[in-house]
């Protein structure tokens, strides 16, 4: 963005914010009698404007500090997992240990934020805080924390609306207490940032320059991160999670041509205040729920496209290749494959018969309810595992999967939109899921080509799609739509909606699509040697890539329709198969399919029995394993 365009955009935002705020003020005065309108102005409208300005300024300041310290234009409380850590800490205290609330929400939020940043630093410090790795780990931490939050919501229906609205970043106020508290925090944080402006200016050049001038980079980094973490935790404790502002405000100010850190500091604070005020007032004016859609849900929708834009501006690097070699140990044998198949054949009937159930219940009657869920979970696991193998082989990226590359989220997004717009049941939405996964796959490769298919960028692009789908789900949840809870259960991987028709259809689709993946063996082997090598050996690159992508999209769409977008099976199963020695494509496909089906059946069985009679979604259980697995793999790569 050119400086003149950035200034024009800022001017338009300022004018729009003033006009919309004035319109909301006028509407309030004309809608209610004067005494009641005056009360609303004093206790709700003006406090809401003040807290919008304060939170926007605080989030922008925190984002600028994170970006300066980590040398990362994508850093902000949302992308680093700090806001999710604070949110999870407060939610867990509210549900499991209400006595801890006497400590105050700010302290609980600070503890959660500190844990999140500790995990982030521990996993990325060895790599020197490489920008893409930091954001990748931070977004996975955020995804994991939000999944745990969703589980808490599902288990506590009495707190559902208030807890979910609070998590979504609501700026609705009923007094001045939060505004006063956050104003004091912002002033102190701004003073601390001004005191650190000179060393941070030097640090912006490089750590070497700072060390040469006698500065302790470690202490400076700790102090600046401490200010940003405390500010982020305080804001999250009062209004919930609000993203986008910490990314957009610094990016706009830098685009305006301001280079000195002291200038960026003041301008970024003002830009952040203006942006959040604009977003909140627009949500207040045009919300179909009488102004109750939180600003955080709206900013999440804006944040995903912004991350994509900033990703495209990052310098491209060539991707690391999947290690290959026929001497890899251990080797996968036919005996191991037979044992896996036998294990699946034993686990499936066991999951049908051995369950916790009410006394005097007729097990035979319950089988009619259980078998569609088990078959659906088995087929979904197998299809997602095969899709994961295809995507990893095609992109030459062992960290790719339908869940992390956003293909599952594309299918989920299409399902959510189709459900809202057409009122069709889930069982009839396979075409929508296929269309969504194909579009997501095309966008993924369109953006990926710009970055030479860098593995970390591919995953970050996918996580942006995931964030977009989650934001729409959140808005639907808060809209009062009666289908919202059903979609929330489905999006977390619940198999409760799988009926006989869906189970039989899934079995037929899996029986057709999974064997088709074996027919891609020659193409994938030659493509793994490089595009030029494959073309020289007679491979039609456009046709082969298109057919592989189409098959992966079909597998992903069918699996996502059954168990939602966050199962992580597409990541776990191929990795487990490779650890067993299945390096050849045919071996890996067979082993991954059996392992994926086995994992989903076990997750479904555990979800039905761990906290009986309250079920836990199978997708959440596998996500709890998949996210730490991914972080562990990142740690291994950094070592």
Same domain assignment for residues 121 and 253: yes
Residue 355 counted as domain residue: no
Tokens 């859609």 found at = 293
Same domain assignment for residues 471 and 605: yes
Q: Is the pLDDT of residue 68 over 80?
A: yes
Residue pLDDT, tens place only, 115-133: 988 888 888 877 777 776 7
Q: Is the pLDDT of residue 316 over 50?
A: no
Residue 356 counted as domain residue: no
Domain boundary among 271, 292, 311: 311
Tokens 């009410």 found at = 358
Same domain assignment for residues 299 and 160: yes
Per DSSP, the three-state class of 317 is: coil
- The confidence score (pLDDT) of residue 324 equals 44
- The confidence score (pLDDT) of residue 512 equals 92
- The confidence score (pLDDT) of residue 548 equals 84
Tokens 């506590």 found at = 156
Residue pLDDT, tens place only, 367-416: 777 888 889 889 999 999 999 888 888 777 776 778 777 788 788 878 87
More confident residue, 524 or 15: 15
Average pLDDT over every residue of 255-259:
79
124: left (phi over 0), alpha (psi -120 to 50) or beta: alpha
Residue pLDDT, tens place only, 601-614: 888 888 888 777 77
Residue 589 counted as domain residue: yes
Report the chain's C-alpha Rg in angstroms: 25
Confidence of residue 56 (pLDDT cuts 50, 70, 90): very high
Q: Rounded mean pLDDT of the chain? A: 79
- The confidence score (pLDDT) of residue 97 equals 79
The answer to whether 426 and 348 are in contact (CB under 8 A) is no
Same domain assignment for residues 142 and 280: yes
> What domain range is 118 assigned to?
3-311
Residue 332 counted as domain residue: no
Q: Is the pLDDT of residue 60 over 90?
A: yes
Same domain assignment for residues 298 and 395: no
Residue 563 counted as domain residue: yes
Q: How many CB atoms lie within 10 A of CB 482?
A: 6
More confident residue, 471 or 233: 233
Residue 86 counted as domain residue: yes
Domain boundary among 254, 289, 311: 311
Percent of the chain scoring above 70 in pLDDT: 81
Same domain assignment for residues 282 and 406: no
- The confidence score (pLDDT) of residue 455 equals 59
Listed in sequence order, the residues at least 6 apart from 212 whose beta carbon sits closer than 8 Å to its beta carbon are none
CA 630, 631, 635, 638 dihedral sign is positive
Which pair of structure tokens corresponds to residue 192? 């601390």
- The confidence score (pLDDT) of residue 566 equals 67
- What is the C-alpha to C-alpha distance for residues 55 and 178, in angstroms, rounded to an integer? 10
- What is the C-alpha to C-alpha distance for residues 430 and 380, in angstroms, rounded to an integer? 13
Same domain assignment for residues 300 and 444: no
The structural domain count of the chain equals: 2
Listed in sequence order, the residues at least 6 apart from 77 whose beta carbon sits closer than 8 Å to its beta carbon are 59, 62, 63, 66, 83, 113, 228, 232, 235, 236, 243, 246
Q: Is the pLDDT of residue 509 over 80?
A: yes
Residue 382 counted as domain residue: no
Domain boundary among 311, 326, 342: 311
Residue 318 counted as domain residue: no
- CA-closest candidate to residue 620, choices 639, 638, 606: 606
CATH of the domain at 611: 1.10.3470.10
- What is the C-alpha to C-alpha distance for residues 164 and 168, in angstroms, rounded to an integer? 6
Same domain assignment for residues 306 and 395: no
Same domain assignment for residues 198 and 299: yes
Q: Is the pLDDT of residue 322 over 50?
A: no
More confident residue, 122 or 593: 593
Q: Is the pLDDT of residue 57 over 90?
A: yes
């Amino acid at each position: 963005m050119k400086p003149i365009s950035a200034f024009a955009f800022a001017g338009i935002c300022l004018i729009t914010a003033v006009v919309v705020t004035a319109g909301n003020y006028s509407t309030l005065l004309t809608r209610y009698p004067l005494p009641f309108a005056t009360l609303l102005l004093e206790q709700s409208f003006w406090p809401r404007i003040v807290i919008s300005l304060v939170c926007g300024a605080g989030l922008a300041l925190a984002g600028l500090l994170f970006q300066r310290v980590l040398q990362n234009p994508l850093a902000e409380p949302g992308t680093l997992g700090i806001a999710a850590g604070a949110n999870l800490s407060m939610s867990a205290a509210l549900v499991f240990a209400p006595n801890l609330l006497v400590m105050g929400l700010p302290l609980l939020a600070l503890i959660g934020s500190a844990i999140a940043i500790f995990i982030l630093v521990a996993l990325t410090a060895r790599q020197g805080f490489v920008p893409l790795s930091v954001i990748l780990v931070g977004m996975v931490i955020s995804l994991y924390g939000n999944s745990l939050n969703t589980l808490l919501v599902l288990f506590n229906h009495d707190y559902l609306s208030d807890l979910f609205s609070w998590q979504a970043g609501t700026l609705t106020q009923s007094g001045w207490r939060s505004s006063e508290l956050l104003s004091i925090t912002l002033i102190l944080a701004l003073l601390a940032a001004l005191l650190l402006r000179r060393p941070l200016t030097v640090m912006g050049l490089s750590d070497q320059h700072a060390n040469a001038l006698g500065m302790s980079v470690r202490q400076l980094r700790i102090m600046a991160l401490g200010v940003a973490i405390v500010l982020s935790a305080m804001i999250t404790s009062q209004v919930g999670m609000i993203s986008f502002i910490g990314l957009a405000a610094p990016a706009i100010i830098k685009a305006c041509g301001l280079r000195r850190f002291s200038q960026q500091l003041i301008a970024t604070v003002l830009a952040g205040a203006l942006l959040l005020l604009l977003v909140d007032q627009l949500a207040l004016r045009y919300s179909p729920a009488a102004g109750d859609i939180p600003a955080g849900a709206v900013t999440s929708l804006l944040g995903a496209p912004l991350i994509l834009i900033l990703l495209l501006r990052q310098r491209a690097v060539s991707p690391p290749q999947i290690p290959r070699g026929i001497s890899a140990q251990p080797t996968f044998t036919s005996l191991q494959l037979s044992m896996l198949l036998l294990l699946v054949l034993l686990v499936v009937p066991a999951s049908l018969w051995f369950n916790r159930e009410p006394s005097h219940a007729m097990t035979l009657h319950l089988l009619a309810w259980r078998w569609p869920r088990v078959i659906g979970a088995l087929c979904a696991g197998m299809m997602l595992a095969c899709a994961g193998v295809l995507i990893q082989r095609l992109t030459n990226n062992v960290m790719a999967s339908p869940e992390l590359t956003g293909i599952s989220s594309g299918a989920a997004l299409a399902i959510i939109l189709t459900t809202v717009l057409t009122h069709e049941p889930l069982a009839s939405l396979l075409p929508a899921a296929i269309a969504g996964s194909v579009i997501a796959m095309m966008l993924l490769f369109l953006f990926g080509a710009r970055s030479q298919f860098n593995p970390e960028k591919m995953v970050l692009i996918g996580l942006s799609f995931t964030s977009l789908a989650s934001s729409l789900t959140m808005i639907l949840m808060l809209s009062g739509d009666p289908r919202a809870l059903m979609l929330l259960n489905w999006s977390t991987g619940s198999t409760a909606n799988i009926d006989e028709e869906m189970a039989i259809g899934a079995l037929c689709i899996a029986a057709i699509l999974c064997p088709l993946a074996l027919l891609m063996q020659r193409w994938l082997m030659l493509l793994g040697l490089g595009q030029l090598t494959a073309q020289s050996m007679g491979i039609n690159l456009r046709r082969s890539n298109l057919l592989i992508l189409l098959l992966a999209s079909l597998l992903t769409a069918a699996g996502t329709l059954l168990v939602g977008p966050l199962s992580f099976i597409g990541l776990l199963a191929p990795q487990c198969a490779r650890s067993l020695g299945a390096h050849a494509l045919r071996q890996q496909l067979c082993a991954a399919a059996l392992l994926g089906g086995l994992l989903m059946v076990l997750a479904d069985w555990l979800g039905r029995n761990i906290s009986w009679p309250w079920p836990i979604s199978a997708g959440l259980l596998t996500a709890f394993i998949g996210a730490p697995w991914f972080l562990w793999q990142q740690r291994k790569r950094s070592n």
